[in-house]
Amino acid sequence: MVDTALKTRKSARQRAKTFVTVVAICSAAVSALHGEEANAAAERDEHRSEVLKEIDQTIEAAISEGRAPGGVFVLERGGRTYRRAYGLRAVEPEREEMTEATIFDVASLTKVVATTPAVMLLVQRGEVALDEPVKRYIPEFGGDGRDAVTVRHLLTHTSGLRPGISLRPAWSGYERAIELACAETPRHDPGTAFVYSDINFILLGELVRRVGGDGLEVFVRNEIYGPLGMETTAFLPPEEWKARIAPTQRAGDGILRGVVHDPTARAMNGVAGHAGLFSTAGDLARFARMMLNRGELDGVRVFEAETVDLMTAVQTPETLADRRGLGWDIDSRFSRPRGSRFPLGSYGHTGWTGGCLWIDPFSGTFWMFLSNRVHPDGTGNVLDLQRALADLAADAITGFDFENVPGALPPRD
């Protein structure tokens, strides 16, 4: 249905005057990894220029209010992109300007840009079955109510497991985390409640390691990021990236920079299925384009179209109010980046450190805002900003009627 709707709108999109064209305006400092960073300016559609200005003003106001030190915003449709950096990358120990090439700790975006696609590649290859018990792949995850938990339950946060592993008493090491995750017992019968849980994705990361034959960080580098040309996306970022990484929060005698912010992922030595990934707006844009293209980018096919359709369709039971895909958020209490304008059936995710990504296959649009709102003291808050930017992003689109979207999901009572 989504594919048909997009095809029937193709000629209309080609005729419609779009909201923005990216042109290079200046060159910036040479970075250690990519060399010259290009800043871009937008040629604004005369009917939407005020909306793009309002996006700028809204982000700048949030920064001035201390909600985040800075960030990078991207809005793209049909190859036309509006992208801009705002504010500061760091406020201490020294002030640094935010750039479009900044590398962010994307926190729980890891779930949908690393773990979910890794699992779905294994599903696509017939090596993992969604409705098989998790214990088939991780035998230690059995007994005490765990036998009925399936891979699908983990991906949809309907396993019944609690939100996270306790860090007290203190523990460390990847193996110890898996032991603790496998010892967790469901608080609800699987499939009967939606409880957003990092434990689900810690287990899925381990499933990828066991079935895929490599650690999650190696699997996604070889199978996803390499083929997609996502050159600055990785767990455990190398030292040469450090100058471009947005620092997060004070910890001990310093500030976390290039070390994952999430305390559980940090205790797991930086590689976990729920958090730990670092990336840029440019790389995440490539991933979003691949998703909009139903698995293909620049002639490289990573997923079959049916696999993308499967992971982005509602997979939670009708009895639950929260609607989730496989990994992806669709219509839940966490769907701030959908706002009130993007249609039900679009999808995305958020991250604790201040990032969000939302993809709308109906209009062929995606938008994101990446920030390090936890820098330097953890007090920043971008929740309201995400909602506001979602509606402004939709308002900036020309040539699409968001009020009448064939194929969109009906609202739930």
Which among 89, 155, 183 has a CA at the least distance from the CA of 372?
89
> How many angstroms separate the CA atoms of 349 and 253, rounded?
32
> How many angstroms separate the CA atoms of 328 and 30, rounded?
36
CA atoms within 13 A on the CB side of 68: 31
C-alpha to C-alpha distances, 256 to 81, 89, 104, 248, 272, nearest whole angstrom? 31, 13, 12, 5, 17
Tell me whether residue 197 is one of the annotated catalytic residues.
no
Above 50 in pLDDT, residue 47?
no
- If you ran DSSP here, which 8-state letter would residue 236 be given? S
What would the pLDDT profile of 59-114 be if each residue is shown by its tens digit?
999 999 999 999 999 999 998 999 999 999 999 999 999 999 999 999 999 999 99
Q: How confident is the model at residue 49 (pLDDT cuts 50, 70, 90)?
A: confident
- Residue 111 is encoded by which pair of tokens? 């779930």
- If you count DSSP H runs as helices and E runs as strands, how many of each does the chain have, helices first? 14, 16
- Domain map of the chain by residue range? 101-349+372-381
SS3 335: coil
Catalytic residue (one of 31, 108, 346, 363): 108
> How many angstroms separate the CA atoms of 126 and 134, rounded?
15
**Buried b / exposed e across 155-183, counting CB within 10 Å, b at 16+?**
bbbbbbbbebbeeeeeeeebeebbebbbe
Lowest mean pLDDT, pick from 43-47, 80-84, 391-395: 43-47
Instruction: Provide the β-strand partners of residue 103.
Output: 245
> How many angstroms separate the CA atoms of 65 and 164, rounded?
31
Whether cis (ω within 30° of 0) applies to the bond prior to 411 is no
Backbone dihedral angles phi then psi of residue 79, each to the nearest 5 degrees: 85, -5
Strand pairing category for 20-31 and 35-44: antiparallel
Averaged pLDDT, 276-294: 98
> How many angstroms separate the CA atoms of 316 and 53, rounded?
38
**CATH 3.90.1170.40 is right for the domain spanning 101-349+372-381:** no
What would the pLDDT profile of 317-367 be if each residue is shown by its tens digit?
999 999 999 999 999 999 999 999 999 999 999 999 999 999 999 999 999
> How many angstroms separate the CA atoms of 309 and 294, rounded?
7
Comparing 185 with 28, which gets the higher pLDDT? 185
